[in-house]
Amino acid sequence: MKFRRLLPLAAVAAAAVVLGAGAAAPASAASTPLGYAGAAQHTGLSPSVAGPLVNATSRNWAGYAITSLSSPTATFTHVHGSWTQRAITCPAPDAWAIFWVGFDGWTNGTVEQGGSSARCVNSTPVYQLWWEMFPTNAIQPVLTINAGDSVSADVTYNAATAQYTITVADATQHTSFTTTQTCAANLVCSRSSADWIVEAVGRFGTGNFFPLANYGQALMNNSVATDNAGHSGSMTSNSTWQRTRIQEQDATTTYATTGNTSTNGQNFAVTWAHQ
């Protein structure tokens, strides 16, 4: 089980007021609010045979993850993606959809990530840019944005300093933030996958999920990565990378579907199906 910790509604509202364009990301992790947090319980299907494309399911992830097929296994050092922040409709007073790129989470228990969130706060949509070093801290909202804004995110690992640089930018509003983080000493951030994900958010410790805000169809673009063996490019550009297409579903319900990648391997669509 992998759990995502979230800031409470009051903290989200406060962040929207206090942090403006050009604000620095918070240096310290927000504590988990008592009785309120989010579970990112990920359940995937392990492929039985290695290959260039594997299909899998997850209760809370839709999108793509790539892993290394080389021996020794390469680790990822950079991941980039961009998207237009989709407007959401609210199926409940508190519903979520988050859009991000990052490392890990598909084959291990950490995630180093940055992206945008769409949250229904008392049935009113709020859109923000954020970062997270899961499971060390909560989602850190930094900048409030608008539906329709052009968002991009980069996560880079510097082996010389063992630091992660997370940059998320809003090209429409000409705002961005950058934060530099390290993996907690008690964790292993293996960078075993690079991920481009649209995610549902859950309630910590309950096994239940917030309703998935209806985002229609999200287009993830310019999806590229680099590994420490010198390979770089799109998901389909390297024979040493295996890509996994992830459908968000459980035993009875499909929540979101992931389409094929474009011819150049950089673009794909995730379509909302159920709250």
Residue 143 belongs to some domain of the structure: yes
Residue 157 belongs to some domain of the structure: yes
Residue 30 belongs to some domain of the structure: yes
Residue 3 belongs to some domain of the structure: no
Residue-wise pLDDT for 184-201, tens only, equals 999 999 999 999 999 999
**Cβ atoms within 10 Å of 17's Cβ, excluding its own:** 8
233 three-class SS: strand
Burial 112-146 (b: 16+ CB within 10 A, else e): bbbbbbbbbbeeebbbbbbbbbbbbbbbbbbbbbe
State the sign of the Cα–Cα–Cα–Cα dihedral 142, 130, 14, 17: positive
How many domains is the chain partitioned into structurally?
1
Residue 1 belongs to some domain of the structure: no
Residue 4 belongs to some domain of the structure: no
Contact 191, 183 (CB under 8 A): no
CATH, residue 172: 2.60.120.700
CA angle 63–69–70, rounded 5-degree value = 140
Residue 78 domain boundaries: 9-272
Per-residue pLDDT of the chain (275 residues; tens, 9 = 90+): 344 444 433 333 333 322 322 222 222 222 222 222 233 435 444 444 456 899 999 999 999 999 999 989 999 999 999 999 999 999 999 999 999 999 999 999 999 999 999 999 999 999 999 999 999 987 899 999 999 999 999 999 999 999 999 999 999 999 999 999 999 999 999 999 999 999 999 776 677 889 999 999 999 999 999 999 999 999 999 999 999 999 999 999 999 999 999 999 999 999 999 99
Distance CA 272, CA 76 (A): 29
Q: What is the pLDDT of residue 51?
A: 61
